[in-house]
Amino acid sequence: MSSSPSTPWRGPRWRSAVLAIALVLPLVAMPAPDAAAQQEPGQVSLTVSGFTGVIGPGSLRPPTSPSEDAPPIEGPDAPEELVVRALIEHTGGDPLDQLQLIVEVHPAVGSRGGLRSALDGDEGPSSLPSVHPVEIRPDDRLEAGELTGVEVRIPPTDVDWAADGGVHPVRIAVQRGTEVLAETLTAAIWLSELPQQPLLTTALWPLDTPPWRGPGPAYPADVDASLRPGGRLDAVLRSLERFPTAGATVAPSAHLLEDLRDRADGFVRTERLDGGALESRDVEPEAAASRRANDVLQRIRAVVADLPFAPIARPYADADLTALTGDQAVRDLAGELATTGRRRLQQLVERAPDQSSFLLPASTSPEVLDLIPAEVALVPYAAVEGPDTAANPTLPQPVREVRSASGRPLRLLVGDPYVTALLDRPVRDGSILTAQRVLAETAMVFFESPGSQDRALSIHPPEGWAPTAELAGQLLSGLADATWLDLRDATSVATLVGQVDRATLAAPTAPTLSAAQAERLSSAIGDLAAAAAARGQEPQLGGREPAELRDQLLRSTSRWFPAGSGEADALVVDVNTAIDRTLSEVDIASGSQVTLTSDTGTIPVTLQRGEGGPLAVQVEVTSQGRLAWPEGRRSETLVLEEGTTQTVTFETRALSTGTFSVSVRVTDPSGRIELDRTTLSVRSTAISGFALTSIALLVVVLLLAGLLRRRPRRRQLELVK
């Protein structure tokens, strides 16, 4: 709503100018006080404790009737009065008097760049504002250490609000005369009417964390600090509990839910001692950390069940799919991680995730798009090529079309970079103004094109978003009440926007998985499968289930582990250690000398199994051609029981006399993993039948050759002419 003054001097902007002049003139006309009466500069802090920053006739949705035939329901009137509540604290210096709280309402800005320039620029808003002063303790001084509160109420007729609605920069300051002691900037959103085409919006609410479970398996001490009251995950979760119908789209990490479930049953915690050594301690299910994990898991399940939209899946362990698809050794693993993330999420929260949407990181490749089980991918702004946000450009539409490496069409829902940057800021001005700043940014997206049906917005918090509980609640409540936003699930937003532009994925960033790490990971995956198969009906390796060990290998691909940090390598090494601990107790106990007194015989190989349980093995012999192996060089599969010995024999035939080397190798049934190796010395003292036959044939050949050489030559006859 805007005023229509009959003369310029009756408008709110002119009244404010006159008021400002009236405030300054007495100060100019006052005689200078004596030096002894002058005060030393005092210091104050300003905290905005209340701000009714969304106002106007269109700022409140009318109540919804229970049915079409029911009479309309009368609701409360929309707020039109700008209310500012502030706390002023004297933080040091001499007592202060003649203090005022000044609220300046500036004209509406015309663009998102203009809003950022007004609120984040060095000079702040520069237009002629509407000024509203209130005295702070008019009859008393503010002493050091004291705190006082002030409220300013500004009727709609005292501000020249934008006729069609808009976002107005607001400056709030504590002044003593013309001296500014403290100030802050925010914005008020004025809605002159209820928006008829609200902005299609997806508000992503991530529940993410690095994989906690480390080698052992064990958990580092205090790894669950984010779960405690006021912690990062507790803050995000608490906001969803307070406003379950707000319309947020939650994206929990499946590995987080697994860690919570695991810790709820008791776990092992590692603590570093004073000398630097690590000590492992058992944490019982009744311990506070275990109960806290169970409570948070149940809270997440309850929230997911109550939310209006299904959760969004993401790669298991937040794996670096781009790095995996770029390395032939582990390429097949990427598809498994993409599908495992969705399947595990459904099992853990007991609600099917959105079947059409998937959450991807900034480093995404066309090959990855072929793997995700979805038609819509939610990505941050850095995932696509676009204009540099530092220049305040007009951003492309967030709903974009892209093609996978195979040509499969998908739609991207690209996060708004300016909203993401605001959510990533430290909360310096308090939760109320921080949330209001985000709301103002979303309102400017709407006001730049208020009547368009093909406009959308994706609110995409940064990875590891760490709001306070108060900020998360303020923001979610404000988004739910924003009449210019239509909160929907990601699939609806991506499909309801008709006209979309093509997008090009940005070049992937440096992978978190090096080629050497990928090779080690591939080797460990193959060794784990072979070792588990060799264990047969008792597949535990080092006292751990193969499925648990495989999950640990999958977790080593997480993007949360920086390249070269050693965390991913430690998980792979731990799996290899569990394999070696189980398979290493196999020894060849045969003697090193074998004598064959005949041209045929057997070579015995005795195996000894130590600890580790039953194990299936095979034995393989090789020689340099002086021995034949009529029944083959590889034995049948043997099952070695713990603490036993077993002998396998190989039929052989000596092709000549002498001493020959025979290599003996013990492997798992697949032949992949070598368990032990030795070299036998085989001595043959008898001439074989084959050798005798060969010698006889050689003698006959030599005799015939000699006879042929001794035959007399015939004389050549001469012709008589």
Which is nearest to 165 in space by CA: 186, 187, 188, 190? 190
Distance between CA atoms of 604 and 594, rounded to whole angstroms? 8
Q: Say if residue 52's pLDDT is above 50.
A: yes
Pick from 150-164, 478-492, 677-691: least confident = 677-691
Q: What is the mean pLDDT of residues 176-205?
A: 95
Q: Confidence band (pLDDT; 50, 70, 90) for 30?
A: very low
Q: Say if residue 554's pLDDT is above 80.
A: yes
pLDDT at 710: 58
Q: What does the mean pLDDT of the chain come to?
A: 88
Q: Is 399 exposed, middle or buried (0-12, 13-18, 19+ CB in 10 A)?
A: buried
pLDDT at 454: 81
Q: Say if residue 474's pLDDT is above 50.
A: yes
Q: Between residues 627 and 11, which one has the greater pLDDT?
A: 627
In tens, the pLDDT along 223-258 reads 999 999 999 999 999 999 999 999 999 999 999 999
pLDDT at 621: 94
Q: Confidence band (pLDDT; 50, 70, 90) for 14?
A: very low
pLDDT at 25: 41
Q: Confidence band (pLDDT; 50, 70, 90) for 706?
A: low
* Residues whose CB is less than 8 angstroms from the CB of residue 58 and which lie 6 or more positions away in sequence, other chains included: 78, 165, 191, 192, 193, 194, 195, 483
Q: For a pLDDT cut of 90, what percent of the chain falls above it?
A: 70
Distance between CA atoms of 322 and 559, rounded to whole angstroms? 10
622-658 CB burial, b ≥16 within 10 A, e <16: ebeebbbbeeebbbeebebeeeeebebebebbbbebe
pLDDT at 220: 92
Which is nearest to 682 in space by CA: 597, 624, 596? 596
Q: What is the mean pLDDT of residues 264-291?
A: 90
Three-state SS for 216? coil
Q: Say if residue 19's pLDDT is above 70.
A: no
Q: Say if residue 479's pLDDT is above 60.
A: yes
Which is nearest to 172 in space by CA: 160, 159, 189, 185? 185
Tokens of 433: 């103004």
* Prediction pTM value: 0.84
Pick from 36-45, 378-387, 388-397, 622-631: least confident = 36-45
